[in-house]
Structures are given as C-alpha cells and as structure tokens.
Copies of this chain bind each other. A is one copy, B any other.
Amino acid sequence: MTASRMTADDRLDIFDLFARYAWAYDCSDAQAYAETFAPDGVLSDAFQMRVEGRAAIEKAIHKFFEMRGTSLWQHHNDHLRIEGNSEECTVWSYWAVLEHRKVDDYHGVGRLGYYFSRCVKRDGQWFFKERTFYVDMEEGLPWKNPALQRQSA
C-alpha cells in the first residue's frame, strides 16, 4: 500500500493506541498490553532490555507488574510529537507515573520520563513496532540528539 498523508483520524488513532497501552498496563492486562504491539514489535529501554514479539513482551510486562506490587500506577502520556504518514510514524511522548501506594495510603508522583515509539498501521489499525522508554528528561531535545537517533534508526 502506498503511504499518503496522515489524516486527522490517523493522529487520533495514535492517541487511542497510547490510551490502550496505558489502560492495559495500569489494569494489569498483559495480553492486551502485548496486543498494542505489532506481532514483530519490540519493547526496549535505554539500557540492556530488548524484548521482541508479543509472547516475550507479555512475559516482560509481568515483571513490571510484580515490581509495582500492591501499588496502583497511572501512566499519564502526554505531549505526543507525531511525524509520519498514513502507514507508519514516529512519536516522542512524555510519561509520568502517578501512584497510590496502598501500603501507607500515599498518593504521589512515581517517576517521570519519555518514550520513543515507532508505530505501524496493519489492516487499518495502529500498533507499536518499537517502544523505548527513558527515565527522566535530558538537557536538549532528544530528536536533535545524534546518539538517540542512531539508537532508534
């Protein structure tokens, strides 16, 4: 299929993809989480983690659920910078984790960071082809950082 301009519906579908991702994570649905990725999708972080394919991603997210323990986490993804066409796009976005730590009933901000995502449309639906998360923000816009561009290319 020939790629054309990204429509307003495409851009809103990307918002919806990010919403599905957050809900699946925060409600502990590992399968729904993995299904936001393309079958050959990759989940990775800024360090050693690199997990490929839905079965492996489902296993990996379970470890994060365990790390979270009895706390409730809400991911707030924000400020999506979307660039691409009707078939694939890249997205830089913020993430913030708000938490309700049930062990002492504390509500607060967990951690902050940002994502780099490559998204692809398959049979009319958008998926993550690659999703990499970074903790904290750095000096300088990440999309102007040659090191990050190389990493994500």
Q: Which residues of A are at the interface with B, using a C-beta cutoff of 8 A?
A: 7-9, 11-12, 15-16, 18-20, 22-24, 26-29, 32, 72, 74, 76-82, 92, 94, 96, 98-100, 107-112, 136-142, 144
Contact of A82 among B16, B100, B138, B144 (CB under 8 A): B16
Using Cβ atoms and an 8 Å threshold, which residues of chain B touch A19?
Answer: 78-81
Are A78 and B76 in contact, with the CB atoms below 8 A? Answer: yes
Using Cβ atoms and an 8 Å threshold, which residues of chain B touch A29?
Answer: 140-141, 144
Most chain B beta-carbon neighbours within 10 Å: one of A12, A18, A110, A138: A12
Using Cβ atoms and an 8 Å threshold, which residues of chain B touch A74?
Answer: 78, 94, 96, 112, 137
Contact of A137 among B20, B26, B111 (CB under 8 A): B26
19 contacts across the A-B interface (CB closer than 8 A): A8-B8, A11-B12, A19-B81, A23-B81, A27-B141, A29-B140, A29-B141, A74-B137, A76-B78, A76-B79, A77-B78, A78-B78, A98-B109, A99-B112, A100-B112, A100-B136, A107-B111, A108-B108, A109-B109
Contacts A80-B19, A96-B98, A112-B74 given; does A139 touch B107 at CB 8 Å: no
Using Cβ atoms and an 8 Å threshold, which residues of chain B touch A94?
Answer: 22, 74, 76
Nearest B-chain residue to A80, judged by Cβ: B19
